[in-house]
A and B are shown apart, each in its own frame.
Chain A
Amino acid sequence: MRALAAQLVGDELVVFPVRHHSPACALQLLRLFADCRPSTVLVEGPRSFTRLIPLLVHGQAQAPMAIYTYAVGKPGKAAAVDAEQADDAADESRRAAYYPFCDYSPELVALREATKRGVPARFMDLDFAEQCMLEADPEDQEAMSLLEERHYRRSAYLQRLAERLGCRDHEELWEHLFENTAPALTLREHVEQVVTYCHLARCDNSDAELAADGSLQREAEMAWHVQRALAQRKANEGPVLAVMGGFHAVAMPALLAQPVKRPVLRKGSVSDEASALIRYSFDRLERLNGYAAGMTSPAWHQRVWEGLLKLEKIGRGNVARLRTECALAVLGEIALELRDKHHLALPMPALAAAYEQVLRLSALRGRQAPLRNDVMDGVVSCFIKGDADADGALVHAVAQRVLAGQALGKIPAGAGSPPLVRDFEFRVRRQRLKIDDGEPRRLVLDLYRRPEHRISSRLLHGLSLLGVPFAVRVAGPDFVLGQGLDRLQEHWEYAHTPMTEASLVEASMYGVTVPLAVANRFVARLDQMHADGQGRDARAAAAALVQGCVLGLHDHLTRALAQLRSAIAEDAGFASVTSAAMSVGLLWESREPLEARDLDELPAVLRAAYERAVFLGRDVTDAGAEANGVMAALAQLRELLRSTAGGSLDGSLYWQMAEWLYRQHRSALIRGACAGLLYAAGMLSADDLGVALSGHLVGLVQPRDAVAFLRGLLHTARETAWQQAEVLKVIDQLLARWDESSFVASLPDLRLAFAEMTPRETDRIAEAVARLHGEEDLGGLLHHDLSEEQLQANLALSSAVGEVLVADGLCGGRG
């Protein structure tokens, strides 16, 4: 290892191995610059980034920043290097990545120092488009990081080493081994240790694996650049400095021993590529927030880094003490936020105890100074009073936030128009929309038959979500609200106005491409729903999922699905869960226009919603406004079981529930509704229904309950009213038996019971009633044989009644 390290650091060439975002490496690099003036500085990163260096090191630029880059492959040639793969990729493939920088990124330190000293600096890696061609099967399409650390993450050796040293993961292992001690080491010692660490991680990867993910080709390219820089270097100049990830650096000596053949990659298959400098934020750098291009606790490292710089200025200081002070400061900040913002009682002794805990923990774990995880453990031990999952959630979140930080970077003026505007234009033109003038235009999209129309539809829906005034949907199916589903086409009106571009510039904070910005807005919306306590609303969660499909965010649906799952699990509303089940069923059936075919989880979610609805169904009540919702939901579930989506559901659960509700439920309305369901499904014979009906209507139950039963029955099986003679007979008897006050009391419900009949159905019922009394029909409603006096008298009566109704406020001013 020593020999290997010695080969890296020479008089002519210094290959400086780093770990991205490592303050320790950045500090050693600073010292290297203080000791010697390199002739050229080469930095790992796509070589086309070189033109962005002036912006990166600009006086107005403030970290965190990131270079955003993308490449679009031509249809069918996305993986031109691998002919077999090419067939699969029929569509145009687009890939994008971030290359984030913060103040303590060794790469940025190298560029800044080089500029300060007037040393030429450039990036030396394959371009992003070329890297994409090499790696046929990326892990994450949209937002991968160019500073990925999977080699360390996956190394079995490092895993075991971490276990032995009591570290949770390779991140803690690195902090344990390097960040704590490196500032006190000499350059040579530091390089030796990094080389050892990286070499061991590399041993876990076979050459085939390294070739498959493009590492070998990238290393060849970098080695070629190093050799060229060496050749151009004059004899009296300082060494060539190559800053690269330690994982690649350890391969350099072997490569550089002989002339390197530069990998030849034809970029013919790339139709578009570009990169831009964008501002970044600490919370997006935080890996724990779910961004791939990340690290843990950027603010914690920033604090340590700033301290290190101060120590450097005054000569060698005590690094352990610095880190201990940082730990105390962070604890203080967490305590302050918990106290001030969240009114948690955290007295001084608790802070002192936490500090003591942190120190003792780091001692127990054999560390000179506390690491991030020690600080976190101190918080967990001393700030949480109660159950970690319940009382501790807030403390945990606050601590996480303080460690991650909120800092936002700054981009110097002149960095060009935001990538989002260019991306918008590219996409809109690709969909053949006219944006060269402000003319309003109409657009008809055939969602079912034309895939490219679906892309347009998503784009326009996405722009609406972003609040960009560009297009308005004037007609078409609304899958989110479940309206107009029989329509096949969407009608839009659009116009490109100056407002459009202005809003796009504003929206560019959400993301650098339209899909990314839409996705981020969508995720923010999910977060908002969660924060507003809608996390328990299955109906809203299902709507969000459908909306995600309408927006074409199929890669981001995992989150919406997860939220829907948990909402289904937590929502206690029968109607709401049923409605969620219906939405999911609808989504499954409309998978053509919504392209939800690949959502393999849908049937499982549908089943979960259905089963939960059936479970909740036994607890329904008919209180007030809920009654209609419950009856509608009962009927909806029946529809669901009949639909194609519901074909695989276990119907017996539903019918068992209906049977139980019919027999046991307290509410006559729900018993009636279930009687109707069972009768319509042939599970309750006409005779049994008649018995139940007369039992309810003629028995000792209150008139109100009797009518409620009838109302429930007619709601779910209205055909009984004319098919079942028994029904009308019983009602007839009942009406005859009731006195006026009971009749008046039941009138509203009776009216509701028959209110949903169509005119034709009303006619059929009237016929049946007439037959019951031995008549042909009930006679016409129009009578022509009235005398004039009768007519006048009736008119007078009618207006008198009208006045009374108006006086009682019952007629809505209809005089």
Chain B
Amino acid sequence: MNEPTAKVLRAPAELIHADELERLRDKDAGPRPPGWQLSPRAVRRFIVGDDKLGIRRKFYGDDALIDRCIVTLMSHRGLLLVGEPGTAKSMLSELLSAAICGRSVCTIQGTAGTTEDQIKYSWNYALLLAEGPTPKALVPGPMYEAMRAGILCRFEEVTRVQPEIQDSLISLLSDKVLHVPELDGDESTLFAARGFNVLATANIRDRGVHEMSSALKRRFNFETVRPIADRKLETQLVREQTEALLKQASVEVDLPHDVVDLLVTAFHDLREGITSEGTVIEKPSAVMSSAEAVAVGYAACLDAHYFNDGDVGGEHIARQLMGTVLKDNPDDGKKLRHYFDVVVKQRAQRQASWRRVLEARRELDR
């Protein structure tokens, strides 16, 4: 880990993986698209890994998806990553911008309150009043910044932004030019430097999101990021990430294998709506992503560490799982109870680890 990251709670991807990026840059012989720090193939290697150069794989799943993303970013269209929450869309977006332009922090976080000047530019009002509209008084927003520097602008959760504000992206994406009508002459138009593009993420099915206009949709290529289908791979990921979190929090707790297994199995069951035994269950509307699984695993360990003797078991997982599933939809409670009654109960008869899960069942009736 590099020096500057030591004091930072969470460093951006380009700092965390600085050495890998440097190695790739040194060995990179392929042609680079204008404005890119690496050739497209090197970007691919950075994300899917390369044993020869000692590059770790960072994104598990669909390699063809990565190819498509990279190619889209080379084109004139923006890239929109869609999928359920917690499928590593944002991580993928961060990795792509870190590899392509060496900067992943030029980011807009979309909310219902995002305004156009948070996207494009605003003014330093003291200077504006004193000097009038001058380039000095202009405060560039992330999009302004990205266009000027010819880098990627990340736009997280673009569908949470009001549709009228979303539509301000249309002209930026099609004409690649930003107008600043307050300024005169050349300064009133900012032409995007080569290498500029928009990398957005969105959640289409969640509540509180807005439909995109079809004009804006046309300017994006949509790529769907799916949850990890391979249970073994997910188990490994959840284990690694949970242990990393625990280490960071300096919590010394042993997370047994069968507990991770149980956690991932429960998440898979509830996400897919069908268990490994083939039992069909109702899917809760709550998000059951790998990221949530890590959060549940982590919280269960903390629970066991601080309130019990540190022996993490099924009941800790069960308690946290309830918190994850029972959010605001009362139907989810019913679905989870059903899951406990028909699936957990069966497994508890065979496996000791599941018996401890079943013990927490009564908390659902409170």
A contacts, CB < 8 Å to B: 166, 168, 345, 347, 349-350, 353, 356-357, 360-361, 364-366, 373, 377, 380-382, 384-389, 392, 565-566, 568-569, 601, 604-605, 607-608, 611-612, 615, 618, 650, 653, 656
Q: Assess whether A381 is in contact with B221, with CB atoms less than 8 Å apart.
A: yes
Complexed CA–CA distance, A611 and B345 (Å): 12
B63 cross-chain contacts in A, Cβ below 8 A: 166
Asked if A357 and B64 make an inter-chain contact with CB atoms under 8 angstroms apart, the answer reads no
B222 contacts which chain A residues (CB < 8 A)?
A: 381, 384-388
Residue contact B278 to A380, C-beta cutoff 8 Å: no
Q: A357-B68, A357-B221, A653-B341 are in contact. Are A364 and B41 (CB under 8 A)?
A: yes
Cβ contacts A to B, 29 pairs, < 8 Å: A166-B63, A345-B214, A353-B75, A353-B77, A357-B68, A357-B72, A357-B221, A360-B75, A361-B68, A364-B67, A364-B70, A373-B64, A380-B223, A381-B68, A381-B223, A384-B222, A384-B224, A385-B217, A385-B218, A385-B220, A386-B82, A387-B222, A565-B274, A566-B280, A604-B277, A607-B279, A608-B279, A615-B338, A650-B342
**Pairwise interchain contact B279-A611, C-beta atoms closer than 8 A:** yes
A674–B44 Cα gap in the complex (Å)?
62
Q: A364-B41, A381-B221, A611-B280 are in contact. List 8 more A-B contacts (CB 8 A).
A: A382-B221, A384-B222, A385-B217, A569-B280, A607-B279, A608-B278, A650-B341, A653-B341
A353 touching B221 in the complex, CB below 8 Å, given contacts A365-B67, A381-B68, A604-B277: yes
Chain A at the B interface: SS class: helix
Shortest Cβ distance from A356 into B: residue? B75
Rounded to whole angstroms, the CA-CA distance of A356 and B33 in the bound complex is 15
A373-B64, A386-B204 as given contacts; A568 in contact with B280, CB under 8 Å: yes
Q: Is there contact, CB below 8 Å, between B68 and A377?
A: yes
For residue B332, CB closer than 8 A to chain A, the reply is no
Bound complex: CA A591 to CA B43 (Å): 59
The answer to whether the Cβ of B282 comes within 8 Å of any Cβ in the partner chain is yes
* In contact, B71 and A364 (Cβ under 8 angstroms): yes
Contact bitstring B310-335, A, C-beta under 8 A = 1, else 0: 00000000000000000000000010
A387-B82 CB under 8 A given contacts A377-B64, A381-B223: yes
Which B residues are in CB contact (< 8 Å) with A373?
Answer: 64
B61 on interface, CB distance cutoff 8 Å: no
Given contacts A381-B221, A387-B205, contact A611 B67 (CB under 8 A): no
Binary contact track B201-235/A, C-beta < 8 Å → 1, others 0: 00011000000001001101111101000000000
What number of residue pairs across chains A and B have CB atoms under 8 A from each other? 104
Q: A376 CB to closest chain B CB, in angstroms? A: 9
Q: Tell me, in angstroms, the Cα distance from A131 to B217 when the chains sit together.
A: 56
Rounded to whole angstroms, the CA-CA distance of A560 and B334 in the bound complex is 29
When distances are taken between beta carbons in the complex, the residues of chain A under 8 Å from B205 are 387
B57-88 vs A, Cβ < 8 Å mask (1 yes, 0 no): 00000011001101110111100001100000
Residues of A within 8 A of B338 (CB): 611, 615
Which B residues are in CB contact (< 8 Å) with A650?
Answer: 341-342, 345-346
CA distance A381 to B338 in the complex (A): 39
Query: Which residue of chain B has the shortest Cβ distance to A172 in the bound complex?
Result: B64
Contact A357–B345 (Cβ < 8 Å): no
| B135 part of interface (Cβ distance < 8 Å) | no
A166 to B68, CA, bound (A): 12
Contacts of A656 in B (CB 8 A): 341
- How far, in angstroms, from A656 to B338 measured CA to CA in the complex? 12
CB contacts (< 8 Å) of A377 on chain B: these are 64, 67-68
* Shortest 6 CB-CB contacts between residues of A and residues of B: A388-B224, A569-B280, A360-B71, A611-B342, A608-B280, A381-B221
In the assembled complex, the Cα of A452 lies from the Cα of B189 at a distance in Å of: 87
CB distance from B102 to the nearest CB of A (A): 20
Q: Which residues of A contact B221 (CB under 8 A)?
A: 353, 357, 381-382
How many Å lie between the Cα of A392 and that of B224 in the bound state?
9
Q: Contact: A618 with B334, CB < 8 Å? A: yes
Name the contact of B40 in the complex, choosing from A349, A364, A384, A565 (C-beta under 8 A).
A364
Question: Smallest distance from the beta carbon of B69 to chain A beta carbons, Å?
Answer: 9
B35 within 8 A of A: no
B273 is an interface residue with CB less than 8 A from chain A: yes
Give, as a whole number of angstroms, the nearest-CB distance from B106 to chain A: 24
A550 to B204, CA, bound (A): 45
Task: Kindly state the separation between the CA atoms of A388 and B225 in the bound complex, as whole angstroms.
Answer: 9
B280 touches A612 (CB 8 A): yes
Distance in Å from the Cβ of B360 to the closest Cβ of chain A? Answer: 18
A608: chain B residues at CB < 8 Å are 278-280
Question: Which residues of A have CB within 8 Å of B72?
Answer: 357, 381
Q: Mark B281-298, 1 if CB is under 8 A from A, else 0.
A: 010000000000000000
